[in-house]
Structure 1
Amino acid sequence: MALEGAAAPGVAARRGLGMFVVMIGVLISAVDGTIVVLALPAIQDDLAMSLSSVTWVVVSYLLVVTVLATQVGRLGDMYGRVRMYQAGFLVFVIGSLLCALAWNAAAIIAFRIVEGVGAALIAANSGAIISELYPPAERGRAYGFNAFGWSVGSVLGVLLGGVIVTYVSWRWIFWINLPIGALALVLAVRVLRDRGERVRRRLDPVGMITLGLGLFGVLWAMTGLAAQPWGGTQLAFLLGGAAMLVAFVLIERRQAEPTLDLSLFRIPAVTPSLLASLLQGLASFAVLFLVIMYLQGPRGLSPIDASLLMLPGYVVGAAVGPFAGRLADRWGPVLPATAGLAVSAVALVVFALMTTTSSLWLPAIGNVVIMIGGSLFYPANSSAVMKASPPGRLGIASGVLRTFASIGMVFSFTTAILVAADSVPRSTAFAIFVGSTTLDGPLAVAFTDGLSTAFFTMMGVMALAAVLSAFRGRAGSPQRRPDGRAGGQVPA
């Protein structure tokens, strides 16, 4: 489906429609990511879920996306990225329908896994579709619009989540995915075309299973430790998960086409870009959860008031995204990506300064700053990876990028809960997280101090990501012409 040439109006129009379809997929994912968090208290109460099991409504989804990203990206190379992208919408809509009909804890977690399969198909192939729609010199702008779609989806997730949780049923957070997903599927069928060359690939089920079991074991131990004292069960899951991850590495070294294609790491621009993506996810994904815990716990805000306070950041992030993408096209990915990570580190310092008596404008300002940082980082970093990757392996590269980002996100989420649970009783931390209790007095101070420690730790991780981004290889960066416009490729 590669569309060559930017001059023809018909080509430009088709590119625009194609980008719109991709943005809908990103928007749905962003809505789902924020809206579910705000609905956790209602889900827990209605389905009589334990405080520990309700976290798997989020973790199971992220885990599936992490494990499947490279494999479904490989399916895109084999059978067509657009075809797999369309399949992702279909599976996601089915998963959302099932989630809306869930009757107990096991059902909602299982159906979230189905949703995660659809999200993996959408996410792993969207980056490759953008790379086929746009020439290298314009991909930064395209990824900037992708970031815009993510920010708009986050805004809608915050707004809809607060309203639905407060005034309607939590089941509507999944019902609303049906018409949006169906519209996106129809548009994808009518607008996008698979014209790229098919590449024969082998799947890696053994690697996928060992990676999934390894991550599951470690995550189960971490969430279990946050919910109850250390014991033999947590130790067994932790050791078992670690053993599976070691087995995964050993297996991957012998695979002709592994789950994580190690040959991509030989490309100078790719390795630091992937590591920066992982560390950025680790340092930033849990921010929303931690700030919501702070606002609902020590500050006693309702879910809708807490969500409205975070809204300006997402609006500003949406406005910055397309502009940041143009910066990546004009100056290459290193400067905007590194600047975005540095700005995000500053935001984490702002969050760390929150106390039980500080102004509520502090978390709002911090969210504005971190959303600006994310909008600068995402399009530049994605553009760097996709520009540097061979054309026949765009699906694999997109999937690997999504895998690294998702690994960071899933461990960010569980680490945040673990840190929060260390400063107050574990049951209290979980109750704050799902919004079923508030805090005051010495307990509120202790909890806020624990959050401050978490934010400073995340700031250190974000700073490390910025260092990696600053010293990445320059392969894939657009070469400067005398007139200042992007030209060819700078050699590694």
Structure 2
Amino acid sequence: MEYKWTVLTNTTLGILMAMINSSVLIISLPAIFRGIQLNPLAPSSFDYLLWLLMGYGVVSSSLVVSFGRLSDMYGRVKLYRLGFVIFTVGSVLLSITPGRGTVAAAELVAFRMVQAVGAALLMANSAALITDAFPITERGRALGINQVAGMVGNLVGLILGGVLATVNWRLVFIISVPFGVAGTVWSYLKLRELSRPRREEKVDVIGNLTFISGLVLLLAGITYALEPYHGEAMGWDSPRVIALMSAGAAVLAVFPLVEMRVQYPMFRLELFRSRQFSAGIFAALLAGLALGGLMITLTIMLQGIWLPLHGYSYSSTPFWAGIYMMPMLFGFVALGPLSGALSDKYGARELATGGMLIAFAAMMAMMTLNYNFSYLPFALMIFAVGVGNGMFVAPNTASIMNAVPPEHRGVASGMRSVMTSMANTVSIALYFSLLLSAFEAKLPSAIYSSLVSAGFPQALALEVSRMPPTAALFAAFLGYNPMQVVLQDLPQGVASSIEAGDPSGFKEVMSNTWFPHVIAPPFMYALRFTLMISGVIVVVAAVASALRGRTAPQSLGGK
């Protein structure tokens, strides 16, 4: 096999493994929480759920640029191999998690962060290895194939998660181990360095510490802001959140000053002098902000509202939500390699810009949906979002990597990855914040009036209506009927007396359709508002993409 195809297939295996791990976790969370005997609706459980979802992104975002810089100095293949090893070790640790309850949840969070270190090493080097191995006229196609593998991994993970979680929750983590072992052995046997490591350069210790600490503080603050605080749905005004975000922002503000004063900076600020590079990086950041949280938000809508209203049991909604979201992934898979190949011939500007505009049109179309929509129009809309994103990602990545000299490809790949990873993490927080804000404003009165109409005593209806919005949102996400959990927690005899007094009303409240009807109006209100904001960001991403200019691929620097 020609060496360039060896590189592509190995890096494709890496991203396939990472994306299977990501989607299989989301689908399997209900089984994982049951397996470790943790009540997902308990207030203390929300911290663990949040960090399982977002801690991975916080760690990988913080490390990927530093790893990219180190790979330029000590060898991309060497650090890439290490990424496979660490990711595999993290997967093994997750599969043998020994504890129960909150202890096990904390162990899962810690082991996910081990995986994130390995993922950061893989992300920092995959695009750089492909760029080293492929000539400039083939890079777009190669990067497109690589990124489509990630979408295929999402599809495989959704299916595997639904199947394996019904057998044993530990299997959802074991599934990554064969991929990790194969990738490790293959990379040690077949990959070789094409770039010249720059060992004479020194590690930018101060820059690394400044960047990592600032980003960790900022992203941790954003994550903690999603937790309830003093009776409020979120903690944006919590002293801890304010302190973390302020400290993170302050440290990151100092970071460019540090980088301008060191001989061998980790973050190559001079790369931004290239309009091709800076426009591509900025467009990637904006696209991640706009689209990073969309899939998980639409999945929550399907799980918590649409699927129960169409007769699906709560226990089956995580799996079926993944199935019904597949058109978005199909759209990406359909356009990813094609757009990459076309960008090799015609350049990235038109394809990437057009992709963002298609995504914008699809998001605006989604604003017209009601909560009980017909599936076919919805499928076409999310397919169009996938098409738009598929048209954008590979050409944009190729444009970024083509714009940098060979000796800086590792750090450039890391800079691109950190922008994307950080934007996705912030995007999830943005979507959740808007959803929780709408729930906090509208959900209590909706629950109270609906319970009173169903025959519940006013005092009890008032108590139940104080359910934290986070509990309502994540119950839907995890495949639980919140009312069954809430009413089970009532004092002994209360639920049975209500049932005896008004059997039909009690049965209605406990049904799979009552709660979706209650949360649907506030959810759709929040979704439309979120889509409007994200649409504006997508348009700005299109503008940034257009500003990269018409530079032909053959005229750019590189191999």
Question: What TM-score results when the alignment is normalised by the length of structure 1?
Answer: 0.90
* 1:148-181 superposed Cα distances (whole Å, 9 cap, x missing partner): 211211111221122233x222322210000011
Q: More deviation in 461-470 or 178-187? A: 178-187
Which residue of structure 1 aligns with residue 524 of structure 2? 448
Deviation at 1:449, TM superposition (A): 1.2
> Is the contact between residue 350 and residue 363 of structure 1 (CA under 8 Å) also seen in structure 2?
no
| CA distance in structure 1 between the partners assigned to 2:195 and 2:516 by the alignment | 59
SS of match in other structure, 2:33: helix
> Is the contact between residue 318 and residue 478 of structure 2 (CA under 8 Å) also seen in structure 1?
no
Which one of the candidate residues 324, 328, 331 is aligned to 2:343? 328
Residue 58 of structure 1 pairs with residue 53 of structure 2: yes
Residue 432 of structure 1 pairs with residue 476 of structure 2: yes
Deviation at 1:488, TM superposition (A): 4.1
Which one of the candidate residues 289, 296, 305 is aligned to 1:298? 305
Which is greater in Rg?
Answer: 2
Deviation at 1:442, TM superposition (A): 4.0
| CA distance in structure 2 between the partners assigned to 1:209 and 1:490 by the alignment | 31
The root-mean-square deviation of aligned C-alpha atoms, in Å, is 2.1
> Is the contact between residue 223 and residue 417 of structure 1 (CA under 8 Å) also seen in structure 2?
no
> Is the contact between residue 139 and residue 383 of structure 1 (CA under 8 Å) also seen in structure 2?
yes
Which residue of structure 2 aligns with residue 217 of structure 1? 217
| CA distance in structure 2 between the partners assigned to 1:30 and 1:436 by the alignment | 25
Which residue of structure 2 aligns with residue 112 of structure 1? 112
Which residue of structure 1 aligns with residue 144 of structure 2? 144
| CA distance in structure 2 between the partners assigned to 1:186 and 1:345 by the alignment | 43
| CA distance in structure 2 between the partners assigned to 1:490 and 1:232 by the alignment | 48
Which residue of structure 2 aligns with residue 361 of structure 1? 376
> Is the contact between residue 279 and residue 548 of structure 2 (CA under 8 Å) also seen in structure 1?
yes
> Is the contact between residue 303 and residue 321 of structure 2 (CA under 8 Å) also seen in structure 1?
yes
> Is the contact between residue 210 and residue 251 of structure 2 (CA under 8 Å) also seen in structure 1?
yes
| CA distance in structure 1 between the partners assigned to 2:555 and 2:247 by the alignment | 48
Which residue of structure 2 aligns with residue 342 of structure 1? 357
> Is the contact between residue 62 and residue 216 of structure 2 (CA under 8 Å) also seen in structure 1?
no
| CA distance in structure 2 between the partners assigned to 1:142 and 1:26 by the alignment | 13
Deviation at 1:280, TM superposition (A): 0.7
Quickly say closer, same or farther: Cα 1:363–1:28, change in 2 above 3 A.
farther
Q: More deviation in 440-449 or 198-207? A: 198-207
- Structure 1 gaps of 5+ residues are 1-9, 479-486
* 1:466-490 superposed Cα distances (whole Å, 9 cap, x missing partner): 1000111444x32xxxxxxxx4449
Deviation at 1:335, TM superposition (A): 1.2
* 1:120-148 superposed Cα distances (whole Å, 9 cap, x missing partner): 11111011111111111111111111122
| CA distance in structure 2 between the partners assigned to 1:136 and 1:264 by the alignment | 19
Residue 74 of structure 1 pairs with residue 118 of structure 2: no
> Is the contact between residue 421 and residue 430 of structure 1 (CA under 8 Å) also seen in structure 2?
no
Which residue of structure 2 aligns with residue 96 of structure 1? 91
| CA distance in structure 2 between the partners assigned to 1:60 and 1:255 by the alignment | 31
> Is the contact between residue 89 and residue 118 of structure 1 (CA under 8 Å) also seen in structure 2?
yes
| CA distance in structure 2 between the partners assigned to 1:490 and 1:189 by the alignment | 30
Matched residues, percent identical? 31
Residue 21 of structure 1 pairs with residue 21 of structure 2: no
Residue 30 of structure 1 pairs with residue 45 of structure 2: no
> Is the contact between residue 58 and residue 219 of structure 2 (CA under 8 Å) also seen in structure 1?
no
| CA distance in structure 2 between the partners assigned to 1:435 and 1:218 by the alignment | 31
Deviation at 1:368, TM superposition (A): 1.3
Q: More deviation in 105-114 or 216-225? A: 216-225
Residue 317 of structure 1 pairs with residue 317 of structure 2: no
| CA distance in structure 1 between the partners assigned to 2:120 and 2:69 by the alignment | 12
Which one of the candidate residues 536, 540, 546 is aligned to 1:470? 546
| CA distance in structure 1 between the partners assigned to 2:260 and 2:211 by the alignment | 13
SS of match in other structure, 2:325: helix
* 1:321-349 superposed Cα distances (whole Å, 9 cap, x missing partner): 22111110110011111111112222222
Which residue of structure 2 aligns with residue 153 of structure 1? 153
| CA distance in structure 2 between the partners assigned to 1:46 and 1:253 by the alignment | 51
* 1:275-324 superposed Cα distances (whole Å, 9 cap, x missing partner): 10111111111111101110111222511111111123323422322211
Q: More deviation in 246-255 or 256-265? A: 246-255
| CA distance in structure 2 between the partners assigned to 1:148 and 1:429 by the alignment | 31
Question: What TM-score results when the alignment is normalised by the length of structure 2?
Answer: 0.80
> Is the contact between residue 402 and residue 557 of structure 2 (CA under 8 Å) also seen in structure 1?
no
SS of match in other structure, 1:195: coil
Quickly say closer, same or farther: Cα 1:123–1:220, change in 2 above 3 A.
closer
Which residue of structure 2 aligns with residue 176 of structure 1? 175
* 1:342-393 superposed Cα distances (whole Å, 9 cap, x missing partner): 1222222233333212113344223211221122111101111111101111
Q: Tell me the amino acid that sits aligned with residue 98 of structure 1.
A: L
| CA distance in structure 1 between the partners assigned to 2:392 and 2:532 by the alignment | 20
Work out the number of aligned pairs and report it: 470
| CA distance in structure 2 between the partners assigned to 1:171 and 1:205 by the alignment | 38
Deviation at 1:204, TM superposition (A): 3.2
Q: In the TM superposition, what are the counterparts of 1:278-297 in structure 2 within 5 Å? A: 278-297=285-304
Q: Tell me the amino acid that sits aligned with residue 27 of structure 2.
A: L
Deviation at 1:24, TM superposition (A): 0.7
Q: Tell me the amino acid that sits aligned with residue 243 of structure 1.
A: A
